């Protein structure tokens, strides 16, 4: 059975799916090149490839002690074999949370239809008009919008999240993002530029938490 390439694995995490004890699998490779990405080796696909069979064996052996598995990346939906991985996890009786950039609405739709995902965290990189700048690629924004609508209309647990990069966006951009995802749940993440993919971004200013909290008092802030 073909399975996605895995570039990193956390056997137990209490923070990657709030309220859940999970294992976290990071697939290799991403179709975008966000300048602020802090997972460069995974996104570029150069991280050392781990033994996916051994990881699944470990998860199955500890299934009684886990609530679920977070599948992150890179971008998991670029791999056509993603459903096979999720079927194996669901077969162990575990819930699945998918982290995605939302570029592949057909993959998300198939996973929803087959009942292979229980929760999704989808990145909203910024206002639609800035997507190319924020992803480093020519993006089919309509596809990303389709993913948003699919997830909004689904019955699973969905969170939209935006990394606030002051060098690339301002508070008005964030207000536009909020309108793009309403009435969905939305979270602001404060960028940490120390590991940014684009060297020009490394060391640029991070947002001031107090200022963001004042501008968006009803929005959870992470980072
Ligand atoms: S931050 Fe961007 S480049 Fe990095 S993994 Fe996510 S979508 Fe890919």
* CB atoms near residue 40 (< 10 Å): 15
Atom of ligand 1 nearest to the CA of 33: 3
How many residues are present in the chain? Answer: 223
Predicted pLDDT of residue 101: 98
The residue whose C-alpha atom lies closest to atom 2 belonging to ligand 1 is: 34
Cα 212 to averaged position of ligand 1 atoms, centre (Å): 23
The answer to whether residue 159 scores a pLDDT higher than 90 is: yes
Which range among 6-10, 164-168, 170-174, 193-197 shows the weakest confidence by mean pLDDT? 193-197
pLDDT at 223 over 90: no
Beta bridge partners, 69, equal 23, 96
pLDDT in tens, 100-110: 999 999 999 99
34 Cβ closer than 6 Å to some ligand 1 atom: yes
Q: Identify the structural domains of the chain with CATH numbers, from first to last.
A: 6-222 (3.20.20.70)
CA 161–ligand 1 middle distance (angstroms): 13
Query: How confident is the model over 59-81, as a mean pLDDT?
Result: 98
C-alpha span between 151 and 119 (Å, rounded): 10
Condensed to tens digits (0 to 9), the pLDDT of residues 103-130 reads 999 999 999 999 999 999 999 999 999 9
Check pocket membership of 103 for ligand 1, CB cut-off 6 A.
Answer: no
Residue 183 buriedness (CB in 10 A; 0-12 / 13-18 / 19+): exposed
Ligand 1: which of 41, 72, 73 to mutate, judged by most atoms within 8 Å of the beta carbon? Answer: 73
Instruction: Give the pLDDT band (50/70/90) at residue 197.
Output: very high
Q: What is the mean pLDDT of residues 157-176?
A: 97
Ligand 1 pocket, residue 47 CB under 6 Å: no
Q: Is the CB of 8 within 6 Å of ligand 1? A: no
What is the pTM for the complete model shown? 0.97
Please tell me if the CB atom of residue 134 comes closer than 6 angstroms to any atom of ligand 1.
no
Give yes or no for residue 60 having a pLDDT over 90. yes
Whether residue 212 is predicted with pLDDT greater than 90 in this model: the reply is yes
E-state strands within the chain? 6-13, 22-27, 68-72, 95-100, 119-123, 157-164, 186-190, 221-222
- Indicate if the pLDDT at residue 1 is higher than 90: no
pLDDT band at 62 (very low <50, low <70, confident <90, very high): very high
pLDDT over 90 (residue 206): no
DSSP run (H or E) holding 121: strand 119-123
Nearest partner of 12 among 88, 65, 91, judged by Cα: 65
Place of tokens 């699944």: 56
With contact defined as beta carbons under 8 Å apart, do 86 and 119 qualify? Answer: no
CA of 9 to the centre of ligand 1 (A): 17
Listed in sequence order, the residues at least 6 apart from 130 whose beta carbon sits closer than 8 Å to its beta carbon are 168, 169, 173
Provide mean pLDDT across the span 129-151. Answer: 98
101, 133, 136: which to mutate for ligand 1, most atoms within 8 A of CB? Answer: 101
Q: State the greatest distance between any 2 C-alpha atoms of the chain, in Å, as a whole number.
A: 51
């Amino acid at each position: 059975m073909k399975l996605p390439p895995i570039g990193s694995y956390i056997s137990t995490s209490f923070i990657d799916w709030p309220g859940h004890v999970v294992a976290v699998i990071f697939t290799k490779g991403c179709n975008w090149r966000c300048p602020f990405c802090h997972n460069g080796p995974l996104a570029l696909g150069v991280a050392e490839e781990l033994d996916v069979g051994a990881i699944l064996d470990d998860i199955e052996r500890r299934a009684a002690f886990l609530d679920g598995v977070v599948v992150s990346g890179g971008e998991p939906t670029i791999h056509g074999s993603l459903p096979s991985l999720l079927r194996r996890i669901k077969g162990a009786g575990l819930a699945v949370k998918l982290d995605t950039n939302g570029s592949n609405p057909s993959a998300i739709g198939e996973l929803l239809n087959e009942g292979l995902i229980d929760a999704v965290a989808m990145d909203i990189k910024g206002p639609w008009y800035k997507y190319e700048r924020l992803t480093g690629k020519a993006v089919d924004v309509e596809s990303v919008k389709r993913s948003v609508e699919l997830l909004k209309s689904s019955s699973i647990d969905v969170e939209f999240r935006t990394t606030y990069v002051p060098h690339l966006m301002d508070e008005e951009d964030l207000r536009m993002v909020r309108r793009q995802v309403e009435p969905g749940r939305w979270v602001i993440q404060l960028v940490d530029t120390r590991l940014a993919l684009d060297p020009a971004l490394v060391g640029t200013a991070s947002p001031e938490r107090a200022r963001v909290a004042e501008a968006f008092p009803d929005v959870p802030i992470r980072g």
